[in-house]
Structure 1
Amino acid sequence: MKKQDTWGIVKRLFFIGMKFRSWFILTLIISVILSIVSTYRPYLTMQVVDNDITKLKDNALMMKHIYILVGLVFAETILNFFLVYFSNYISQNVIRDIRERLYAKLIYFRTSFFDKTPIGQLVTRAVGDVETIATVYTDGFLMVFGDILRIVFVLIMMFSTNVHLSYITLAILPLMVMITRFFQKRLKKAFGDERTWTANQNSFVQERLAGMSIIQVFNRQDAEFKKFDDINITLKTALLRTVFIFSLFFPVVELISSLFIGFILFYGGYITISAGVVIAFIQYISMLIRPLRQIADRFNNIQRGIVGAERVLGVMDEDYAMPNTGIVKKDHFDGKIEFENVRFAYDDKQEVLKGIDFKVNPGETVAIVGATGAGKSTIISLITRLYDINSGRIVIDDVEVKDYELYNLRSHIGVVLQDVFLFHGSIFENLAFGDESVTLEKIKAGAKEIEVDQFIEQLPGGYDFVVSERGSSISLGQRQLLSFLRAYLSDPKILILDEATSSIDHESEKLIQRATEKITKNRTSIIIAHRLSTIEKADKIIVMEHGKIVEEGKHLELLDKNGYYSTLYKAQLRHEVELEEEQQS
């Protein structure tokens, strides 16, 4: 992801916030009024001390000034409330907007992006990093503007009160700027390390939780805990480095402020300045130091937000969307599929498919078989354009797949993957995932047609049964049957089935075989077969080895050739017999 300069990020965030410009303007007006009110208060205090209390000229006027002072304090409180509320209102709306933009971008990214980017890092970007951007608005544009405005008004009031002391006070400004710059540089690096290791930890935890059964089966608990502990210690060190810099910064600012106020008291007594002027100047110095310190504090928080924004905008700037330049749209597919000298590599280095040529006629059922890594499952991704080929052509109904409007192409293709993914939600919601307009009656009718209605109705709540994350609350066979029904309900003209490699119970396998026969009827079907006994009735079998097609024909024809398919089939048959004998013994 591309590095971006700080001001470039700030400008982009500012223009994103301009979507809520009316709220910005209202908050800026409140900030101006608050600055005027707060800086006038010390001046009025000076008048009360020097004219009303010291000279005791007019009690009525003194009481009037005191009432005004009390009113100003209440006004400051109310204005501060609205300033904080409105700035947070703006920031939360902007954050919602950024989250929507980020998610809208991610869901259209190519599969290759997710292949190389850890999901934990993306979760950190979409949740944690986006949240830190809020500080750019709550502590940034509006509050910093208010602080700068207050400094300007304070300086104006100071010079109108005592020019000599004002010039002396100005000497503190360069020192405060130097200190702020010094700490700001160190904080930027500290925040960057903090966010990097937070993302690493999220990615590590998410991956290990997903693979917990593997960790336990291989007795890797202690080793994995050690890895987590190393990351956790590094993150703690990064966080403590940030805390250390913060902890050092504020006492330094407080020390300079206290020393300067002490100097003003001493100097005021030395040159004989009125008590009211001294009191006003002490207040003005506090009001000057406070926004300077707040600006420094805000810049620290803004720095964290900018680091988060750099990461989020970096993802949003990635150009990983699958090109959707095709213009061909069809209401109906015949289902003819042709691969012409197709070559493909996931990483532009190791070719997975090496000059593949085959043809599937409308309504045919074609099985593709081969050892693991032969390139069978890759064919699914290429037909549905999850990836684009490196060379050659993939043609459906005499039109290259890249020339179809992408969503039109996918709407005519049903896919059942070997790794069945079910979302957390009801059975009904998962079955309606491909078509939200589908009714419960249609789902029930479809379930009955392919004989999966019985097991669904036996679940607690039936179609309202809530499936846990990734469908872990039901068996593998049941998940496969649900994925068959989901594909069947979309009524695609082209159906691609990627058989699960995992073993399932005998009853589920019989149901799956019957369901396969029914959902492949009257549509072009490609079956990525892992159990060769299930594809004996296929119209054609394509045999792959090391990314190439080595044999092609019907089941009995291929057995008669006594070639690679025959070897695979006999080896799998022996394995199944051995398993059956083991179970019987």
Structure 2
Amino acid sequence: MTTMKVTERVQGMGGPGRGGPFGSSMVGQKSMTFGPSAKRLFARLAPERVKVLAVLALAVASVALMSIAPKLLGTATDLIFEGLFGKQLPAGVSKEEAVERLRAAGDDRVADMLSSMNVLPGQGVDFGAVGTVLTVVLVLYVGSAVLGLTQGLLLNGVVQRTMLRMRAEVEDKIHRLPLSYFDKQPRGELLSRVTNDIDNVSQVLQQTMSQLLTSLLTVVGVLAMMFWISPALALIAIVTIPLTIAVTGAIMKRSQKQFIAQWRATGKLNAHVEEAFTGHALTKVFGRRREVERQFADQNEELFKAGFGAQFASGLIMPTMMFLGNLTYVVIAVVGGLRVASGTMSLGDVQAFIQYSRQFTQPLTQVASMVNLLQSGVASAERVFELLDASEEPADAPGSAASVSRGRVEFSHVSFRYEPEKPLIEDLSLVAEPGQTVAIVGPTGAGKTTLVNLIMRFYDLDSGHITLDGVDVSSMPRRSLRGQVGMVLQDTWLFHGTIRDNIAYGRPTASEEEILAAARATFVDRFVHSLPDGYDTVIDEEGSNVSAGEKQLITIARAFLSNPALLILDEATSSVDTRTELLVQQAMAALRSDRTSFVIAHRLSTIRDADLILVMEDGRIVEQGSHHGLLAAGGAYAALYQAQFAGPVVEEESLV
């Protein structure tokens, strides 16, 4: 038997980085740049490429119809204006004669306007032609609206299915992550990524994709129509594009950092709130409410500053774009008016062009206003991608599942450390024979739980081997290995469901008779009948409608029902009363029969009947043997026993 050296206790399930119920710390995160993250996010739409192409086609058609309509409205304006103008001219003369008379009278500007019109002197407005044009325009607008609605419905399905796959991928990823990841990650921070961040990505994609697509296509369509009407005026409008890119890029560069900080602060605050609420009773008992409130206020203030900075920076985009658009509108109106006066453009074309200029700057403004939402969504996507990119458990070695029939467990020169620079277990060797109950005792932090975690392959060894019935656990699929091991922990875990369902969690295929037999064997049956709904009593999320001891009994019944080949009990009776403990020990004795069991215990009364007791002290296995043999030896185990059972008596005698 060699020794095991523990130089420093590594935190258990709470893990490094947790601040307990009075605070929390954040895992360092490295943010990605906006471009690659946005590209990766939109690449997730690839499985919906057919529908995305359909959305694109509908958007193009909708924008095309919308872009043609102003030009036709300009035609209607020309018909009305030309009719009104023609009615003022004397009938019976040609347009050319009317133009010559105007020039002779010195009205060259009016003559220029008249020469560019399609006017019949003395004839008024052709309302039939105007009505036809307006009807066509109405059809175009209705068709554009219908196509846009269809596009929105398709896009909604695309986004929601994409989010469905992302949530499923995150859920699957969580089950592939090693236990060490959860040890180092505050639970509230992880929940924030899985819930808040994914929801934010969904909302942002839903709100921005349709509007961004339509706005960009509108810019292209409107620009084409503007060049068709007047290339000179179109060039004036184009000036706004580089200005828009420059202004938006400068603001985005600043606000993206703020959005990253905002969502980090959100995760940090969630982690603190989750821990503070979980330990709410402790904050009351130890009078730490003011400290918790101060830490909450500090982190809330941090979130406020980050959120204010992000929204303020991105909020500058909208008014800046409106200002640039208004400048363009003024220039086009002035130049267009001069061109109408000179006869180089018709009034309808100027009207259409002014409408196009509005349609041109409006989508640019909309794109700019969507930037802050898009930045927020990409910042959340980065945090989800960090989770998806986290290192997973090493893949199982190829091979078939091995069945544990005897339950012989052997540690052979095992070494392990949670952190490379901090040795924990060094060159440990021990053997647990089939059917033996091996108890592990010692002070807190001696690495007792680490031993059973290694058997379950929650962590992989640095060196050495652990075998079950001669089969190296590292060669066994994790699911197969863990399916043959029953485990009862000190910290009970029950899910929201009935007591029957929680017991059956150990073996879902168990019959009603088997569930009841497990409940009777572990004395669950004794208190269930006092509950209003018996085995159908629903346990709430916190398990507050059953006592701590009753919850522990349910978890023991769950392990009993699973009928494992190897049993691990980690302070399994720590939450039950003394009388119930005696009954549970009897149940545990029946449960441990004919199977190898590892029992971690602080209460030495629970392991008196163990076949082998390992005593760990100062990082080493200092003693091993039976209960009576170790007491007779008068060593470390005897000292622990005396301290636990004789200590109070000695103290009373010394006071007398």
TM-score when normalising by structure 2: 0.85
Match of 1:195 in 2: 263
Counterpart check, 1:131 vs 2:199: yes
Distance apart, 1:365 and its partner CA? 1.2
Match of 1:280 in 2: 352
Mapped partners of 2:202, 2:521: distance in 1: 53
Q: CA offsets per residue over residues 84-128 of structure 1, 9 Å max, x none?
A: 332232112111110110111012211100000111111111111
Match of 2:78 in 1: 50
Match of 2:187 in 1: 119
Mapped partners of 1:189, 1:577: distance in 2: 64
1:258-297 to 2 correspondences below 5 Å: 258-271=326-339, 272=341, 273-297=345-369
The answer as to whether partners of 1:158 and 1:281 remain within 8 angstroms in 2 is yes
The residue type equivalent to 1:519 in the other structure is L
1:27-426 to 2 correspondences below 5 Å: 27-55=55-83, 56=124, 58-134=126-202, 137-139=205-207, 143-271=211-339, 272=341, 273-325=345-397, 327-426=399-498
Deviates more, 1:542-551 or 1:212-221: 542-551
The answer as to whether partners of 1:477 and 1:509 remain within 8 angstroms in 2 is no
Distance apart, 1:52 and its partner CA? 4.5
1:529-568 to 2 correspondences below 5 Å: 529-568=601-640
1:375-524 to 2 correspondences below 5 Å: 375-500=447-572, 502=574, 504-524=576-596
The residue type equivalent to 2:160 in the other structure is Q
Mapped partners of 1:103, 1:197: distance in 2: 23
Q: CA offsets per residue over residues 383-418 of structure 1, 9 Å max, x none?
A: 101111222221111111101111111111100111
TM-score when normalising by structure 1: 0.94
The residue type equivalent to 2:200 in the other structure is T
Mapped partners of 2:59, 2:648: distance in 1: 78
Q: CA offsets per residue over residues 441-494 of structure 1, 9 Å max, x none?
A: 321122123332121222221111111224333222111111111011111010
Distance apart, 1:223 and its partner CA? 1.1
Mapped partners of 1:76, 1:543: distance in 2: 80
Mapped partners of 2:647, 2:573: distance in 1: 14
The answer as to whether partners of 1:328 and 1:403 remain within 8 angstroms in 2 is no
Task: Label 1:174 to 1:148 Cα distance change in 2 as closer, same or farther (>3 A).
Answer: same
Distance apart, 1:139 and its partner CA? 4.9
Mapped partners of 2:652, 2:331: distance in 1: 94
Distance apart, 1:282 and its partner CA? 1.4
SS in 2 for 1:347: coil
- Unpaired runs of at least 5, structure 2: 1-28, 84-123
Residue number among 590, 598, 607 corresponding to 1:526 in the alignment? 598
The residue type equivalent to 1:409 in the other structure is L
Task: Label 1:185 to 1:90 Cα distance change in 2 as closer, same or farther (>3 A).
Answer: same
Deviates more, 1:35-44 or 1:57-66: 57-66
Task: Label 1:437 to 1:161 Cα distance change in 2 as closer, same or farther (>3 A).
Answer: same
Distance apart, 1:54 and its partner CA? 3.0
Distance apart, 1:503 and its partner CA? 5.6
Distance apart, 1:5 and its partner CA? 4.1
Task: Label 1:192 to 1:150 Cα distance change in 2 as closer, same or farther (>3 A).
Answer: same
Q: CA offsets per residue over residues 311-367 of structure 1, 9 Å max, x none?
A: 111110112224322524224421000112222222223333233221111111111
The answer as to whether partners of 2:62 and 2:145 remain within 8 angstroms in 1 is no
Deviates more, 1:305-314 or 1:321-330: 321-330
Task: Label 1:7 to 1:37 Cα distance change in 2 as closer, same or farther (>3 A).
Answer: same
Mapped partners of 1:175, 1:96: distance in 2: 39
SS in 1 for 2:613: strand
SS in 1 for 2:493: coil
The answer as to whether partners of 2:77 and 2:347 remain within 8 angstroms in 1 is yes
Across the two proteins, how many residue pairs are aligned to each other?
581
Mapped partners of 1:28, 1:477: distance in 2: 61
Mapped partners of 1:92, 1:534: distance in 2: 54
Distance apart, 1:549 and its partner CA? 1.1
Distance apart, 1:243 and its partner CA? 2.4
Distance apart, 1:143 and its partner CA? 4.0
Q: CA offsets per residue over residues 238-270 of structure 1, 9 Å max, x none?
A: 111122223322122112212221222222222
Match of 2:11 in 1: none
Mapped partners of 1:78, 1:529: distance in 2: 71
The residue type equivalent to 1:42 in the other structure is P
The residue type equivalent to 1:10 in the other structure is A
Mapped partners of 2:590, 2:542: distance in 1: 26
The answer as to whether partners of 1:90 and 1:137 remain within 8 angstroms in 2 is no
The residue type equivalent to 2:550 in the other structure is Q
The residue type equivalent to 2:187 in the other structure is I
Deviates more, 1:321-330 or 1:34-43: 321-330
The answer as to whether partners of 1:432 and 1:486 remain within 8 angstroms in 2 is yes
The residue type equivalent to 2:149 in the other structure is F
Match of 2:89 in 1: none
- Unpaired runs of at least 5, structure 1: none
Deviates more, 1:565-574 or 1:78-87: 78-87
SS in 2 for 1:387: coil
Q: Between the two proteins, what is the percent identity of the paired residues?
A: 35
Q: CA offsets per residue over residues 269-314 of structure 1, 9 Å max, x none?
A: 2232432122111110111111111222223322211111111111
Structure with bigger gyration radius: 2
The answer as to whether partners of 2:311 and 2:372 remain within 8 angstroms in 1 is no
Mapped partners of 2:171, 2:421: distance in 1: 30
Mapped partners of 2:453, 2:568: distance in 1: 10
The answer as to whether partners of 1:450 and 1:519 remain within 8 angstroms in 2 is no
Structure number with the bigger relative contact order (C-alpha 8 A, sep ≥ 6) is: 2
Task: Label 1:326 to 1:525 Cα distance change in 2 as closer, same or farther (>3 A).
Answer: farther
Task: Label 1:579 to 1:490 Cα distance change in 2 as closer, same or farther (>3 A).
Answer: farther
Counterpart check, 1:12 vs 2:5: no
The answer as to whether partners of 2:522 and 2:553 remain within 8 angstroms in 1 is no
Distance apart, 1:576 and its partner CA? 6.6
Deviates more, 1:134-143 or 1:368-377: 134-143
Q: CA offsets per residue over residues 147-199 of structure 1, 9 Å max, x none?
A: 22221111111111122211222222211221111221122111111111001
The answer as to whether partners of 1:253 and 1:293 remain within 8 angstroms in 2 is yes
Match of 2:5 in 1: none
Mapped partners of 1:509, 1:434: distance in 2: 22
Residue number among 23, 26, 29 corresponding to 2:51 in the alignment? 23
The residue type equivalent to 2:557 in the other structure is L
The answer as to whether partners of 2:614 and 2:623 remain within 8 angstroms in 1 is yes
Mapped partners of 2:284, 2:204: distance in 1: 44
Task: Label 1:210 to 1:550 Cα distance change in 2 as closer, same or farther (>3 A).
Answer: same
The residue type equivalent to 1:375 in the other structure is G
Distance apart, 1:434 and its partner CA? 2.9
